[in-house]
Amino acid sequence: MNKIKSILVASLGLTIGLMSCDSGNIRRTPGHIYAPDMTYSRAYDAYTSNPNFEDSMTSRLPVSGTIARGHQLPDHLKEGDTTAYKSFSTSMKFSAAELKEGGRLFNIYCGICHGQNLDGQGPLYSSGKFASMPANFKDAKYLHMPVGQMYAAVKYGKNMMGSYASQLDAKQRWMVIAYIKQTQSKNGGDAFAFGEADAPAKTDTAGAAKPLAAVDSKK
């Protein structure tokens, strides 16, 4: 009896197995569809033609003047739109630990050109292999540069400097800028407005440094 059972099971398995092979034909149809809503999306796929819009494009640009959640600059703001980003700022404040992190990021991403001393004499420039002089943040020209303009340079790049938008998220960009501003404030720049400046990091009762997330949830 057991033998018959296993023969039956085996032949059933074989039949299903053979049925699922499609003797060499390349199938272009999904066969039976049990849940058409799941097989065929009702939403328009990106890049497909869309009859609902005049230009028939499914992928839309953000509505002009709007700011995406979690972003600070309107998406339509373009490189070169200097008046708009000069007046742009942030309410973020940073602890000493975060400013240190800003310095670490600066040394990783910016120091190669702008120099770890922020004097524009990074190894890439001083080696003579990079033709364009990076901003010397200790120079009068940059000491009072609006933070929004700096932010735009990091986000969009400027002339020979590329964009760092994909390497640094919004908060990290501000942390780097805060670090630059902190250094500038000690070299004749504006008073430091990003937080504790030279004061020690805020500590809780256990004496641990203030956690990053608690500093400012606003982006």
- Give me the least distance between CB of 76 and ligand HEC, in Å please: 19
Select 134 or 195, whichever has its Cβ closest to ligand HEC: 134
Select 58 or 107, whichever has its Cβ closest to ligand HEC: 107
- Give me the least distance between CB of 202 and ligand HEC, in Å please: 25
- Measure CA 87 to chain center: 22
- Give me the least distance between CB of 181 and ligand HEC, in Å please: 10
- Give me the least distance between CB of 193 and ligand HEC, in Å please: 16
Instruction: Give me the residues paired with residue 49 across strands.
Output: 57
Query: What is the token pair recorded at 142?
Result: 């940059």
Select 56 or 132, whichever has its Cβ closest to ligand HEC: 132
Nearest to 179 by CA among 93, 117, 100, 97: 100
Select 95 or 184, whichever has its Cβ closest to ligand HEC: 184
Residues at the site binding ligand HEC, with contacts judged by CB under 6 A: 109-110, 112-114, 124, 132, 134-135, 149-150, 153-154, 158-161, 164, 176
- Give me the least distance between CB of 132 and ligand HEC, in Å please: 4
Select 92 or 153, whichever has its Cβ closest to ligand HEC: 153
CA distances from residue 190 to 13, 47, 51, 178 in whole angstroms, order as listed: 78, 48, 54, 12
Query: What is the token pair recorded at 79?
Result: 């490189």
Q: How far apart are CA 42 and CA 59, in angstroms?
A: 15
One DSSP character per residue, 94-136 reads B-HHHHHHHHHHHHHHTHHHH-TTSSS--HHHHTT---SPPP-
